[in-house]
Amino acid sequence: MGTRVVRTLTSRVGFGIARVDITPPVGIYHRMWGAARHHQATGVHRPLVADVMVFRALDGSGGSMVRANLDMVGLDLGWHDGLVQTLSQATGVGQRDVVVAYSHTHAGGVFRRDRLTFPGGDKIPAHVEAVSAKLAEAGRSAAASLRPALISYALGRCSLAANRDY
């Protein structure tokens, strides 16, 4: 039996994390696909969350980075940019160093401006504002909870489903 060595890079950083609930309200427009049987959320199966992580150089010599992972499909560019700005202001990190990523969950609804006229669409702007406020809170909390951390990472490859032309 052979042994394969995988070299991993390691970084020592200041790291802080905070999680907030971003579950949309019952009654919000959430139809995701053509087979959906209704337009508005009738209840909550599982809560949706956002995780905000702040990374900083331990010695203060480097920059900082914020990454927020949201249980959403995505947002209009204007609303997305608003979340980036909110996190930048809450953490003191430049907007170029703030990443907002979406899990692409189909359970969370599609929150775009072109959905505002659909049943429950009137609840979308208030929900996006609430998410923004919660991200600001999480960003401040993550930045305040910075602790030394060791992060290891490597590059992997997988050929599963590599040929999807058929």
d(CA 60, CA 142): 17
The upper half-sphere exposure of residue 137, i.e. CA atoms within 13 Å in the direction of its Cβ, equals 11
Tell me whether residue 158 is in a domain. no
pLDDT tens-digit map of 58-76: 887 878 999 999 999 889 9
Tell me whether residue 3 is in a domain. no
Q: Is 146 exposed, middle or buried (0-12, 13-18, 19+ CB in 10 A)?
A: middle
DSSP characters over the chain: --------EEEEEEEEEEEEE-PPPTT-B---STT-S-SB----SS--EEEEEEEEETTS-S-EEEEEEESSS-B-HHHHHHHHHHHHHHHT--GGGEEEEE---TTS--B-GGGTTSTTGGGHHHHHHHHHHHHHHHHHHHHHT-EEEEEEE------TT-----
pLDDT tens-digit map of 138-163: 999 999 999 999 999 887 777 776 66
d(CA 66, CA 139): 8
pLDDT tens-digit map of 121-142: 999 999 999 999 999 999 999 9
Tell me whether residue 162 is in a domain. no
Tell me whether residue 165 is in a domain. no
Tell me whether residue 159 is in a domain. no
Tell me whether residue 2 is in a domain. no
Number of domains in the chain: 1
Structural domain boundaries, residue 71: 9-32+41-151
Tell me whether residue 166 is in a domain. no
Q: Supply the pLDDT for residue 56.
A: 94
Tell me whether residue 1 is in a domain. no
pTM of the complete model? 0.86
d(CA 5, CA 141): 38
Q: Supply the pLDDT for residue 162.
A: 63
pLDDT tens-digit map of 35-53: 777 888 888 889 999 999 9
Write the CATH number for 14: 3.30.365
